[in-house]
């Protein structure tokens, strides 16, 4: 599979880039600073528009 020819179900993502919010000093979504989802494994971006609970905090393993 060529990088320029994604499978049909993934074509909508073709021109986007993804990265973990915790890997950068700060990140903003629509002007709001995001909070990285807790834990080393998860890549969620938490804003005021997202309701918890959030997996990754101590005691949330194996939900």
| 5 CB-near residues (< 8 Å, 6+ apart) | none
* φ, ψ at 57 (rounded to 5°): -75, 155
pLDDT tens, position by position, 32-50: 998 888 876 677 788 898 8
pLDDT > 90 fraction of the chain, expressed in percent and rounded? 6
For residue 22, the Cα-to-chain-centroid distance in whole angstroms is 9
Report which of residues 9 and 44 the model is more confident about.
Answer: 9
Reduce the DSSP state of residue 17 to 3 states and report it. coil
pLDDT of residue 31: 94
Average pLDDT, the chain: 80
CA distances 7 to 3, 11, 15, 25, Å, are 10, 6, 14, 33
Report which of residues 25 and 44 the model is more confident about.
Answer: 25
pLDDT of residue 40: 67
């Amino acid at each position: 599979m060529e990088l320029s020819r994604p499978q049909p179900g993934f074509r909508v993502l073709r021109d986007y880039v993804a990265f973990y919010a915790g890997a950068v000093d700060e990140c903003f979504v629509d002007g709001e600073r995001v909070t990285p989802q807790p834990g080393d494994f998860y890549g969620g971006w938490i804003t005021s528009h997202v309701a918890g609970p959030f997996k990754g905090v101590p005691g949330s393993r194996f939900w």
